[in-house]
Amino acid sequence: MKIEIANKSHYQYAAVICDTIAESAKIRGTGIAKRTPEYIMTKMDNGNAVIALEGDTFAGFCYIEVWGHEKFVANSGLIVHPDFRNQGLAKEIKKAIFNLSRSKFPNAKIFGITTGLAVMKINYDLGYEPVTFSELTDDPAFWNGCQTCKNFDILTRTERKMCLCTGMLYDPAEKEKNTQHKHEYNGKVFQRLKSIKQAIFLKKEKKK
């Protein structure tokens, strides 16, 4: 398995990347901000993505988004093809895109929003901490990207303060200040948080 920084030579995989992301979201029944092959190609062109290949076969992908004049970056679109899941590949791709982000944007805060418990654990292991949405970028372009997510109405009615996703943030400045050992990851806490939000917001949906 080879994980490398994507470039123009990988344009041929843009369509299958988008299809794999969309299909995965459909199976999980979760919302996701849709992306086009053209958008994925711009990430490859700018060197802001990593791709995993088994020979010439697509295996996984993730890309960087830059917000707030490089004050924030997000690692988005993490996906592993079904043929290569349950092998620890998602974690390796996330490490690769995280290291690329730190290299290209060393002073930026790295953040993400996700409903996936597996992704939350990977982020936590990399040094992310759960935060409120107010600590993330206020760039409207980022939040407008959520419009294609089926849960966008939740984000709208809470005035972008909360949704089913959990916000997580890696702040390099804070990491330099605090070198103490962090608490171990507790998946039950994140599962409980996810369940509470689902109970609150989805219950309101049913009442409509």
In this predicted structure, the answer to whether residue 6 has a pLDDT above a threshold of 80 is: yes
The whole-number pLDDT of residue 190 equals 67
Phi, psi of 141 (to 5 degrees): -65, -35
The whole-number pLDDT of residue 52 equals 98
Q: Give the span between the Cα atoms of 89 and 115, in whole angstroms.
A: 19
Q: Which whole number is the average pLDDT over 161-188? A: 78
In this predicted structure, the answer to whether residue 101 has a pLDDT above a threshold of 70 is: yes
Q: Which whole number is the average pLDDT over 85-107? A: 96
pLDDT band at 204 (very low <50, low <70, confident <90, very high): low
Report the chain's mean pLDDT, rounded to a whole number. 86
In this predicted structure, the answer to whether residue 74 has a pLDDT above a threshold of 70 is: yes
In this predicted structure, the answer to whether residue 56 has a pLDDT above a threshold of 90 is: yes
User: Among 131-140, 183-192, 199-208, which range has the highest average pLDDT?
Assistant: 131-140
In this predicted structure, the answer to whether residue 8 has a pLDDT above a threshold of 80 is: yes
Q: Which residue has the higher pLDDT, 197 or 60?
A: 60
The whole-number pLDDT of residue 171 equals 95
**Longest distance between any two alpha carbons in the chain, whole Å:** 51
CATH number at residue 109: 3.40.630.30
Q: Which residue has the higher pLDDT, 161 or 50?
A: 50
Number of folded domains that form the chain? 1
Q: Answer for the pair 70, 106: CB distance below 8 angstroms, yes or no.
A: no
Tokens at 196, concatenated: 């509470």
- Domain encompassing residue 200: 2-207
